[in-house]
Protein backbone atom coordinates (compact mmCIF):
# COMPACT_ATOMS: atom_id res chain seq x y z
CA UNK A 1 0.00 0.00 0.00
CA UNK A 2 2.47 2.65 -1.21
CA UNK A 3 -0.21 5.04 -2.47
CA UNK A 4 -0.85 8.42 -0.87
CA UNK A 5 -4.65 8.08 -0.56
CA UNK A 6 -6.62 5.16 0.85
CA UNK A 7 -10.29 4.26 0.51
CA UNK A 8 -12.38 3.55 3.58
CA UNK A 9 -12.23 -0.17 2.71
CA UNK A 10 -8.44 -0.12 2.51
CA UNK A 11 -8.17 1.66 5.85
CA UNK A 12 -10.63 -0.79 7.43
CA UNK A 13 -8.59 -3.71 6.11
CA UNK A 14 -5.34 -2.20 7.26
CA UNK A 15 -6.68 -1.48 10.77
CA UNK A 16 -8.65 -4.74 10.94
CA UNK A 17 -11.87 -2.83 11.53
CA UNK A 18 -15.28 -2.86 9.91
CA UNK A 19 -15.83 -0.24 7.20
CA UNK A 20 -18.75 1.21 9.19
CA UNK A 21 -16.40 1.79 12.12
CA UNK A 22 -13.95 3.68 9.89
CA UNK A 23 -16.83 5.70 8.43
CA UNK A 24 -17.95 6.58 11.96
CA UNK A 25 -14.41 7.79 12.77
CA UNK A 26 -14.48 9.97 9.63
CA UNK A 27 -17.93 11.40 10.35
CA UNK A 28 -17.02 12.10 14.00
CA UNK A 29 -13.93 13.97 12.84
CA UNK A 30 -11.53 11.62 14.61
CA UNK A 31 -10.05 10.50 11.26
CA UNK A 32 -9.41 13.25 8.74
CA UNK A 33 -10.67 12.41 5.24
CA UNK A 34 -11.49 14.12 1.97
CA UNK A 35 -14.69 13.47 0.14
CA UNK A 36 -14.23 12.55 -3.53
CA UNK A 37 -17.61 12.21 -5.18
CA UNK A 38 -19.62 9.89 -2.94
CA UNK A 39 -16.58 8.29 -1.31
CA UNK A 40 -13.96 9.31 1.24
CA UNK A 41 -10.22 9.22 0.72
CA UNK A 42 -7.80 9.16 3.64
CA UNK A 43 -4.29 10.53 3.19
CA UNK A 44 -1.36 8.45 4.43
CA UNK A 45 -0.21 11.14 6.86
CA UNK A 46 -3.72 11.49 8.30
CA UNK A 47 -3.93 7.73 8.81
CA UNK A 48 -0.48 7.71 10.42
CA UNK A 49 -1.52 10.53 12.75
CA UNK A 50 -4.74 8.68 13.64
CA UNK A 51 -2.85 5.48 14.48
CA UNK A 52 -0.14 7.33 16.41
CA UNK A 53 2.63 6.67 13.92
CA UNK A 54 5.01 9.36 12.81
CA UNK A 55 4.21 10.36 9.23
CA UNK A 56 7.09 10.08 6.78
CA UNK A 57 8.11 12.10 3.78
CA UNK A 58 8.98 10.46 0.44
CA UNK A 59 12.71 10.59 1.29
CA UNK A 60 12.07 8.58 4.48
CA UNK A 61 12.59 11.41 6.99
CA UNK A 62 9.97 11.94 9.68
CA UNK A 63 7.57 14.66 8.57
CA UNK A 64 8.15 18.05 10.08
CA UNK A 65 11.44 17.04 11.65
CA UNK A 66 14.13 19.31 10.28
CA UNK A 67 17.12 19.94 12.47
CA UNK A 68 17.32 23.37 13.96
CA UNK A 69 19.31 24.70 16.86
CA UNK A 70 18.02 27.14 19.42
CA UNK A 71 19.75 28.72 22.36
CA UNK A 72 18.48 30.41 25.50
CA UNK A 73 20.50 32.91 27.49
CA UNK A 74 19.87 34.84 30.67
CA UNK A 75 21.80 38.03 31.27
CA UNK A 76 21.61 39.77 34.64
CA UNK A 77 22.79 43.35 34.93
CA UNK A 78 23.12 44.93 38.37
CA UNK A 79 23.20 48.63 39.30
CA UNK A 80 21.21 49.82 36.30
CA UNK A 81 18.65 52.62 36.44
CA UNK A 82 15.25 52.72 34.76
CA UNK A 83 16.39 55.05 31.94
CA UNK A 84 19.24 52.70 31.00
CA UNK A 85 16.87 49.72 31.14
CA UNK A 86 14.39 51.42 28.81
CA UNK A 87 17.16 52.40 26.37
CA UNK A 88 18.72 48.91 26.40
CA UNK A 89 15.46 47.02 25.93
CA UNK A 90 14.27 49.40 23.20
CA UNK A 91 17.50 48.95 21.22
CA UNK A 92 17.45 45.16 21.62
CA UNK A 93 13.84 44.95 20.45
CA UNK A 94 14.67 47.21 17.52
CA UNK A 95 17.59 44.98 16.57
CA UNK A 96 15.34 41.97 16.92
CA UNK A 97 12.87 43.48 14.45
CA UNK A 98 15.67 43.60 11.86
CA UNK A 99 16.29 39.86 12.03
CA UNK A 100 16.14 37.53 9.05
CA UNK A 101 12.61 36.54 7.91
CA UNK A 102 13.23 32.87 8.69
CA UNK A 103 14.17 33.70 12.28
CA UNK A 104 10.72 34.50 13.64
CA UNK A 105 11.19 32.38 16.76
CA UNK A 106 13.86 34.53 18.41
CA UNK A 107 12.54 36.64 21.27
CA UNK A 108 13.73 38.96 24.01
CA UNK A 109 12.05 39.25 27.39
CA UNK A 110 13.09 41.72 30.07
CA UNK A 111 12.37 41.86 33.78
CA UNK A 112 13.44 44.85 35.83
CA UNK A 113 13.68 44.57 39.62
CA UNK A 114 13.48 48.22 40.59
CA UNK A 115 14.03 47.64 44.33
CA UNK A 116 17.48 46.13 43.66
CA UNK A 117 18.19 47.89 40.32
CA UNK A 118 18.69 44.62 38.43
CA UNK A 119 17.74 43.91 34.83
CA UNK A 120 17.23 40.34 33.72
CA UNK A 121 17.27 39.77 29.96
CA UNK A 122 16.09 36.46 28.55
CA UNK A 123 17.08 35.90 24.93
CA UNK A 124 16.05 32.74 23.13
CA UNK A 125 16.06 31.68 19.51
CA UNK A 126 18.54 31.03 16.73
CA UNK A 127 22.22 30.93 17.59
CA UNK A 128 23.12 33.69 15.11
CA UNK A 129 20.53 36.24 16.22
CA UNK A 130 21.02 35.45 19.91
CA UNK A 131 24.78 35.90 19.58
CA UNK A 132 24.25 39.20 17.77
CA UNK A 133 21.86 40.49 20.44
CA UNK A 134 24.15 39.39 23.26
CA UNK A 135 27.01 41.23 21.55
CA UNK A 136 25.00 44.44 21.72
CA UNK A 137 24.41 44.26 25.47
CA UNK A 138 27.87 45.48 26.63
CA UNK A 139 27.70 48.40 24.20
CA UNK A 140 24.21 49.38 25.31
CA UNK A 141 24.92 49.32 29.05
CA UNK A 142 28.30 51.07 28.88
CA UNK A 143 28.40 54.27 30.95
Sequence-ordered alpha helix ranges (H) in the chain? 8-15, 19-28, 44-51, 82-97, 127-141
Q: pTM for the whole thing? A: 0.54
d(CA 27, CA 71): 43
At 131-142, the pLDDT tens digits run 999 999 999 998
Better pLDDT: 67 or 97? 97
At 91-132, the pLDDT tens digits run 999 988 877 666 767 899 999 999 999 999 999 988 888 999
* pLDDT value, residue 120: 97
d(CA 45, CA 53): 9
Give me Rg for the CA atoms of the chain: 26
Number of helices (H), then strands (E), belonging to the chain: the values are 5, 6
Crossing angle for the helix pair 127-141 and 82-97, nearest 10 degrees?
A: 150
Amino acid sequence: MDQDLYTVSEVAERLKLHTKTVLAFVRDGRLKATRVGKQYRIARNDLDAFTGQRPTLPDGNPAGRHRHVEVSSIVEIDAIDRAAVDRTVTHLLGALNARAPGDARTRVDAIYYEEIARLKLIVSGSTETTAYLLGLVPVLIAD
